[in-house]
């Protein structure tokens, strides 16, 4: 099962349908990545306009989810996919849900960005956010890459990276708590930052789910909820 | 290569309907023409059959009627020299002709002179005396009584009189005087045509008015009975063995080829074979239905084997598989499933083979069934002739009256063939089972 | 996964060929038609009360293999079976074994419904009659009824038992054939594409029936419909060019086949 491809079906339309699902998923992934990046930038640069844009564009992500899900249902109904095809379609429907959730988290971050911008500029907590956002973006990009190439090994490596995020998240939380203790007036503001950090951590979890789906497609093993991950 | 593909990618819709319409006309014309060829062919065939039937029926219908003359007869036992009607010797010695001779003289009292009288007597069939004897024997109460008897006329008179009724009398075989007498009898209502019983009840005879078809019919029935009794079981058994049990190898291929060849062998060869084997080697008496049956069996066997094999082959293999899959043994498969399903086809084949045998003449000529046989065969061992041979014999006879007899016999033969073929169709329709 | 037919086909099958509780076991079976070899070194167990599906492209030898299990191949001239085929430890190709007895123990249902052109009753009663399984008319009636019941046909035909079996619908005819096969109470039932001539509803009924029958019988089914194999079978064997490529639990074959040829076939990627 090393070189998994979804071509060469006797029905070439089937090839096209699967390819379309896959590329739509990649597009959605790209869109979600962009959303995340913009949301984080909106916080760091205190750019309320950008934050507004992110919130607006979330609707587009939701529409993409619906479209890809429908395409998957149609493929199941019409082609009765089996084996690798079946795994691909099932994994895509799961991955789409994760991407949509990532989109939602990005929207939440953007909302907090709006609040933070309104309460005036302050560099407090941005280092943590930027640091964590970088790792999360990286892990999201890696998992999307693994999905694009159906690279189970890369996916497994990325899964390991998620542990680093968890650690970063805990460190960030501790630091933010320290800020609050140092300056109780900043509690409201730091709480917002905490929510952002929390969202970033959740995005990391969803990216991890994507990697698990890559492993499912390639190896046929469902490693969700299994030990070690 | 890029040019045509890019064109194919953007197909320019061209309107072909004019071209198609033009070719349509041509195609329909060709179709109509073709249909007419078929109709003409069928019309030709029908016309040929029609001509045949019209010819045969117009020639032969007369044979079913025969001319009779009403003659007063007095069964004067004393004059006949018979005292006891049960004494065959006395009956055989009696001059029965005298009975109708005196009757005729009574009918036409003006006739005088020996030659005129002889002509007069010749107007009645020369079997008339025997007819009167049979009549008296059957009704002893007629002894010493007078009655008017319709005696069958001589064949020349018969031919003339029937021609006269049709407006086209054939005068070559009758004398002027006889014509006059016939006119006289006709005006007196003493001459008429009536249903020809002799034709249906008697055997062959040199005298056309006495000749009948019944002997040949019985001969044919006996012969066919033998043929069927032998060829059907033998043919079906051979077919079943070859189709179901025999291994496929060179030997069975050889047998198969030979069976197919035998079906195409001219039938007279089978006659020669019968002559050589059955008569010369086994010493079977000639002219009897058993011999005819044996020879016709040889001739029809290939047909029956081939049609039976076709019928067996037509049994769907799925039925055999089903039975084998149930654990039926080979012979159970054949007995329970193949044979019942193939039976209609086999019977049809057999009947068609029988019809073929019924119409066969050539091989029977070789084994003496062409003999002139007056007696109606009563058993398989009585000398007999068969319908087609009878036709052959009559067609060969010089008397003009045999012309209509020949045609009538052909009608009888055709009747039998039609009945047999209809039976074959009926059996197939009746027994045919769908699966 | 482009399947390249030039690629050498492995002589070794992958997956779980063997069964702990085998009813029939085949070892190194080779089947020849004259000089042509149709089956190469197939080893396979069919377990007790198991439904074993055999799938593969046309001409892959799955039907040939199935037919060797009750020696229906015997009727084909030039067909030769080499290797061990045993049922409950008894060699099926032993010269002492009577093929008639074998076929009473290994029943068969064919591709096209092939009821005998006899009444429904006679169709079912045929097997018990020729094998002498019924001592009396009452016995026979009982066998016929229970077989028809097991084939889920009784309610549909109980009022017309003496009408011809060929008058039934295609699906009913096939169930009649199944009833006929189980009337002799075989141990194994072989089914050679039993639904290929039927509409989806009739097919669903037969599949339901196969499910029920597997409680009492061991079933080997050849099918061209992968979905059918997926629906009815416990294990699936994939044949390719006369070789057994893969045998695995059905759920595995249809989600994660072990061999790429199997994968290619069930995902519809055959070149």
Please state the pTM of the whole predicted model: 0.75
- Whether A4 shows a pLDDT value over 80: the answer reads no
Q: Which residues of B touch C123 (CB under 8 A)?
A: none
Is the separation of the CB atoms in A36 and A135 below 8 Å? no
- Whether B5 shows a pLDDT value over 80: the answer reads no
Rg over alpha carbons for chain C, rounded to the nearest Å, is 19
Query: B241-250 pLDDT, tens per residue?
Result: 998 888 888 9
> Which H or E run contains C106?
strand C106-109
Q: Which residue has the higher pLDDT, B13 or B377?
A: B377
Q: Is the Cβ pair A8, C271 closer than 8 Å?
A: yes
Q: Is the Cβ pair C110, B319 closer than 8 Å?
A: no
Coil, strand or helix: which one is B70?
Answer: strand
Of A124-133, B42-51, B193-202, B274-283, which range is least confident?
A124-133
Q: How confident is the model at residue A121 (pLDDT cuts 50, 70, 90)?
A: low
Residues 6+ apart with CB under 8 A from A124: A179, A186, A189, A190, A193
Of A67-76, A138-147, B65-74, B163-172, which range is least confident?
B163-172
Q: Which residues of C touch A11 (CB under 8 A)?
A: 268
Q: How confident is the model at residue B310 (pLDDT cuts 50, 70, 90)?
A: very high
C243-249 vs C79-87, strand pairing mode? unpaired
Nearest to C117 among B248, B326, B435 (CB): B435
By C-alpha distance, which of C170, C14, C187, C193 is closest to C86? Answer: C187
Is the separation of the CB atoms in C243 and C259 below 8 Å? no
Q: Is B337 exposed, middle or buried (0-12, 13-18, 19+ CB in 10 A)?
A: buried
CA distance B235 to chain C (A): 24
Residue C84: other Cβ atoms inside 10 A:
14
Domain boundaries, chain A: 12-219
Q: Which residues of C touch A3 (CB under 8 A)?
A: 1
By C-alpha distance, which of A144, A133, A125, A111 is closest to A203? Answer: A133
CA dist list (Å): B260 to B227, B300, B305, B418: 20, 12, 9, 26
Neighbours of chain B (3+ CB pairs under 8 A): C
CB-based burial, A68-91: b 16+ in 10 Å, e otherwise: bbebbeebeeebebbbbbbbbbbb
Please report the pLDDT score of residue B334 as a whole number.
Answer: 92
Please report the pLDDT score of residue B156 as a whole number.
Answer: 87
Q: How confident is the model at residue B375 (pLDDT cuts 50, 70, 90)?
A: confident
Those residues of chain B whose CB sits closer than 8 Å to some CB in chain C are: 247-248, 316, 318-329, 332, 336-337, 341, 433-435
Q: Which residues of B touch C112 (CB under 8 A)?
A: 318
CA distance C269 to chain A (A): 4
> Which H or E run contains B312?
helix B289-314
Q: Does A7 touch chain C (CB under 8 A)?
A: yes
Residues 6+ apart with CB under 8 A from B432: B344
Q: Is B434 exposed, middle or buried (0-12, 13-18, 19+ CB in 10 A)?
A: exposed
By C-alpha distance, which of A219, A225, A209 is closest to A29? Answer: A209
Alpha helices in B337-400 (DSSP H): 339-358, 362-366, 387-396
C36-47 vs C22-33, strand pairing mode? antiparallel
Report, as an integer, the average pLDDT of A11-15. Answer: 84
By C-alpha distance, which of A87, A78, A93 is closest to A16? Answer: A78
Pick among B244, B325, B340, B435 to test the C interface (most C CBs inside 10 A): B325
Q: Torsion angle of alpha carbons A184, A186, A192, A198, nearest 10°?
A: -60
Nearest to C127 among B316, B321, B326 (CB): B326
CA distance B234 to chain C (A): 26
CA dist list (Å): B158 to B121, B122, B189, B405: 14, 12, 15, 12
Coil, strand or helix: which one is C214?
Answer: coil
Is the separation of the CB atoms in C237 and C53 below 8 Å? yes
Q: Does A12 touch chain C (CB under 8 A)?
A: no
Residues 6+ apart with CB under 8 A from A191: A180
Q: Which residue has the higher pLDDT, B71 or A226?
A: B71
> How far apart (Å, rounded) are the C-alpha atoms in residues B141 and B137?
9
Residue of A nearest to C252 (CA): A83
CB-based burial, B103-125: b 16+ in 10 Å, e otherwise: bbbebbeeeeeeebeebbbbbbb
Maximal C-alpha separation, chain A:
68
Pick among A82, A91, A223 to test the C interface (most C CBs inside 10 A): A82
Nearest to C257 among A3, A14, A83 (CB): A83
> Which H or E run contains C220?
strand C218-222
Q: Counting one residue from A and one from C, how many pairs have CB atoms under 8 Å apart?
A: 50
Q: Which residues pair with B153 in a beta bridge?
A: B124
> How far apart (Å, rounded) are the C-alpha atoms in residues A168 and A177?
14
Query: B115-158 pLDDT, tens per residue?
Result: 888 888 888 888 888 888 888 888 888 888 888 889 888 888 88
Q: Is the Cβ pair A83, C260 closer than 8 Å?
A: no
Residue of C nearest to B329 (CA): C100
Q: Which residues of C touch B324 (CB under 8 A)?
A: 72, 75, 103
Residues of chain C below pLDDT 70: 1-11, 270-271
Report, as an integer, the average pLDDT of B194-217. Answer: 88
Residue of B nearest to C117 (CA): B435
Q: In the sheet that B146-152 helps form, which strands lie side by side, from edge to edge?
A: B146-152, B65-74, B191-195
Q: Does C104 touch chain B (CB under 8 A)?
A: yes
B338 is written with which tokens?
Answer: 């193949």
By C-alpha distance, which of C202, C201, C194 is closest to C170? Answer: C202
Domain boundaries, chain B: 65-195, 214-431
Residues 6+ apart with CB under 8 A from A115: A192
Residues 112-171 of chain C with CB under 8 A from chain A are none
> How far apart (Å, rounded) are the C-alpha atoms in residues B257 and C128?
41
Coil, strand or helix: which one is B17?
Answer: helix
Residues 6+ apart with CB under 8 A from B359: B388, B413, B417
> How far apart (Å, rounded) are the C-alpha atoms in residues B38 and C210?
55
Is the separation of the CB atoms in C30 and C57 below 8 Å? no
Nearest to C112 among B248, B318, B328 (CB): B318
Fold of the domain built from segment(s) B214-431:
MetI-like fold (1.10.3720)
Phi first, then psi: give them for residue B139, nearest 5 degrees: -125, 80
Q: Is the Cβ pair C260, A1 closer than 8 Å?
A: yes
- Whether B258 shows a pLDDT value over 50: the answer reads yes
Q: Does C3 touch chain A (CB under 8 A)?
A: yes
Whether domain A12-219 has CATH 1.10.8.420: the reply is no
By C-alpha distance, which of A157, A162, A169 is closest to A198? Answer: A169
Coil, strand or helix: which one is C50?
Answer: coil
Q: Is the dihedral of CA C208, C213, C214, C215 positive or negative?
A: positive
Q: What percent of chain A has pLDDT over 70?
A: 94
Q: Does C256 touch chain A (CB under 8 A)?
A: yes
Nearest to B321 among C110, C115, C131 (CB): C110
By C-alpha distance, which of C219, C224, C248, C69 is closest to C150? Answer: C219
Q: Does C181 touch chain B (CB under 8 A)?
A: yes
CA distance B291 to chain C (A): 41
Residue of A nearest to C259 (CA): A1
Q: Is the Cβ pair B321, C72 closer than 8 Å?
A: yes
Q: How confident is the model at residue A83 (pLDDT cuts 50, 70, 90)?
A: confident
Coil, strand or helix: which one is B277?
Answer: helix
Is the separation of the CB atoms in B318 and C110 below 8 Å? yes
Q: Give me the residue label for tokens 């009898």.
A: B185
Coil, strand or helix: which one is C55?
Answer: strand
Calculate the average pLDDT of chain B.
Answer: 87
Q: Which residues of B touch C184 (CB under 8 A)?
A: 326-327
Phi first, then psi: give them for residue C109, nearest 5 degrees: -120, 135
Residue C93: other Cβ atoms inside 10 A:
17
Query: B382-434 pLDDT, tens per residue?
Result: 888 899 999 999 988 888 888 889 999 999 999 999 999 898 888 888 877 65
Q: How confident is the model at residue A2 (pLDDT cuts 50, 70, 90)?
A: very low
Nearest to C266 among A82, A87, A221 (CB): A82
Q: Does A150 touch chain C (CB under 8 A)?
A: no
Q: Which residues of B touch C107 (CB under 8 A)?
A: 325-326
> How far apart (Å, rounded) are the C-alpha atoms in residues C175 and B29?
52
Question: What structural domains does chain C harbor?
Answer: 17-266 (3.40.50.300)
Phi-psi region of A225 (alpha: psi -120 to 50; beta: other; left: phi over 0): left
Q: Which residue has the higher pLDDT, C10 or A40?
A: A40
Query: A153-186 pLDDT, tens per residue?
Result: 888 888 888 888 888 889 888 888 888 888 888 8
Q: What percent of chain B has pLDDT over 90?
A: 28
Please report the pLDDT score of residue B434 as a whole number.
Answer: 53
> How far apart (Å, rounded) are the C-alpha atoms in residues A25 and A31?
10
Coil, strand or helix: which one is B69?
Answer: strand
> How far apart (Å, rounded) are the C-alpha atoms in residues C270 and C4?
9
Residue of C nearest to A88 (CA): C255
Q: Which residues of A touch C1 (CB under 8 A)?
A: 1, 3-5, 8, 84
């Amino acid at each position: 099962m090393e070189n998994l491809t979804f071509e060469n079906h006797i029905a070439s339309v089937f090839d096209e349908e699967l390819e379309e699902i896959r590329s739509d998923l990649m597009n959605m992934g790209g869109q979600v990545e962009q959303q995340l990046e913009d949301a984080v930038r909106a916080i760091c640069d205190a750019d309320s306009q950008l934050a507004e844009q992110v919130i607006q564009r979330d609707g587009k992500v939701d529409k993409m989810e619906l479209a890809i899900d429908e395409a998957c249902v149609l493929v199941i109904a019409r082609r009765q996919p089996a084996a690798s095809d079946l795994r691909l379609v099932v994994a895509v429907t799961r991955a789409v849900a994760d991407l949509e959730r990532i989109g939602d988290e990005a929207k939440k971050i953007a909302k907090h960005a709006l609040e933070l911008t309104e309460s005036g500029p302050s560099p407090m907590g941005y280092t943590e956010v930027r640091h964590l956002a970088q790792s999360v973006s990286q892990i999201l990009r890696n998992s999307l890459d693994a999905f694009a190439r159906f690279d189970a090994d890369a996916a497994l490596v990325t899964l390991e990276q998620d542990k680093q995020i968890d650690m970063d998240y805990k460190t960030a939380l501790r630091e933010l708590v320290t800020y609050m203790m140092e300056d109780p007036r900043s509690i409201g503001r730091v709480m917002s930052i905490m929510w952002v950090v929390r969202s970033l951590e959740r995005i990391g979890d969803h990216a991890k789910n994507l990697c698990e789906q890559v492993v499912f497609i390639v190896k046929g093993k469902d490693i969700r909820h299994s030990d070690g991950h | 290569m890029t040019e045509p593909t890019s064109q194919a990618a953007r197909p320019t819709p061209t309107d072909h309907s004019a071209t198609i319409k033009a070719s349509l006309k041509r195609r329909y014309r060709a179709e109509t023409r073709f249909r007419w060829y078929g109709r003409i062919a069928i019309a030709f065939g029908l016309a040929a059959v029609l001509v045949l039937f019209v010819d045969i029926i117009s020639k032969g219908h007369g044979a079913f009627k025969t001319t009779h003359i009403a003659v007063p007869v007095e069964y004067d036992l004393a004059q006949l020299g018979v005292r006891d009607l049960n004494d065959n010797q006395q009956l055989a010695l009696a001059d029965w002709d005298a009975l109708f001779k005196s009757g005729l003289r009574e009918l036409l009292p003006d006739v005088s002179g020996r030659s005129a009288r002889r002509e007069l007597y010749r107007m009645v069939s020369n079997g008339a005396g025997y007819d009167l004897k049979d009549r008296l024997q059957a009704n002893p109460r007629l002894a010493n009584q007078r009655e008017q008897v319709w005696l069958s006329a001589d064949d020349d008179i018969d031919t003339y009189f029937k021609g006269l009724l049709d407006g086209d009398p054939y005068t070559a075989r009758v004398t002027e005087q006889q014509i006059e007498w016939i006119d006289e009898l006709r005006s007196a209502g003493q001459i008429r045509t009536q249903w020809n019983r002799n034709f249906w009840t008697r055997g062959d005879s040199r005298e056309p008015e006495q000749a009948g078809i019944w002997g040949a019919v019985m001969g044919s029935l006996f012969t066919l009975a033998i043929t069927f009794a032998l060829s059907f079981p033998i043919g079906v058994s051979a077919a079943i063995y070859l189709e179901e049990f025999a291994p496929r190898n060179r030997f069975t291929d050889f047998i198969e080829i030979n069976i197919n060849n035998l079906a195409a062998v001219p039938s007279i060869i089978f006659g020669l074979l019968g002559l050589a084997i059955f008569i010369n080697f086994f010493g079977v008496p000639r002219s009897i239905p058993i011999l005819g049956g044996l020879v016709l069996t040889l001739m029809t066997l290939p047909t029956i084997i081939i049609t039976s094999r076709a019928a067996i082959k037509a049994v769907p293999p799925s039925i055999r598989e089903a039975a084998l899959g149930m654990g039926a043994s080979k012979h159970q498969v054949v007995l329970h499933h193949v044979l019942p399903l193939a039976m209609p086809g086999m019977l049809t084949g057999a009947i068609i083979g029988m019809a073929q045998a019924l119409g066969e003449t050539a091989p029977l000529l070789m084994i003496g069934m062409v003999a002139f046989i007056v007696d109606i065969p009563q058993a398989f061992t009585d000398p007999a002739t068969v319908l087609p041979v009878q036709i052959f014999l009559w067609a060969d006879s010089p008397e003009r009256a045999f012309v209509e007899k020949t045609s009538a016999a052909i009608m009888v033969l055709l009747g039998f063939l039609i009945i047999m073929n209809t039976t074959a169709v009926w059996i197939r329709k009746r027994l045919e089972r769908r699966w | 996964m482009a399947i390249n037919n030039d690629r050498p086909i492995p002589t070794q099958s992958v997956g779980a060929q063997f069964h702990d509780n085998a009813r029939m076991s085949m070892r190194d079976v080779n089947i020849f038609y004259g000089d042509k070899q149709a089956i190469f070194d197939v080893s396979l167990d069919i377990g007790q009360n198991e439904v074993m599906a055999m799938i593969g492209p046309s001409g892959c030898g799955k039907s040939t293999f199935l037919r060797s299990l009750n020696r229906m191949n015997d009727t084909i001239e030039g067909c030769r079976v080499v290797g061990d085929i045993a049922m409950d430890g008894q060699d099926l190709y032993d010269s002492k074994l009577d093929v008639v007895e074998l076929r009473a123990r290994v029943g068969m249902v064919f591709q096209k419904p092939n009821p005998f052109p006899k009444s429904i009753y006679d169709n079912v009663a045929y097997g018990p009659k020729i094998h002498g399984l019924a001592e009396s008319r009452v016995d026979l009636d009982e066998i016929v009824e229970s077989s028809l019941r097991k084939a889920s046909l009784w309610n549909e035909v109980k009022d017309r038992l003496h009408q011809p079996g060929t008058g039934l619908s295609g699906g009913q005819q096939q169930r009649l054939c199944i009833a006929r096969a189980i009337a002799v109470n075989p141990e194994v039932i072989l089914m050679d594409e039993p639904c290929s001539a039927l509409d989806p509803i009739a097919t669903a009924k037969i599949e339901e029936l196969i499910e029920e029958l597997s409680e009492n019988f061991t079933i080997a089914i050849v099918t061209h419909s992968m979905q059918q194999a997926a629906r009815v079978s416990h294990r699936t064997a994939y044949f390719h060019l006369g070789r057994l490529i893969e045998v695995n639990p059905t759920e595995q074959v249809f989600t994660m086949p072990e061999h790429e040829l199997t994968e290619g076939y069930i995902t519809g990627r055959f070149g």
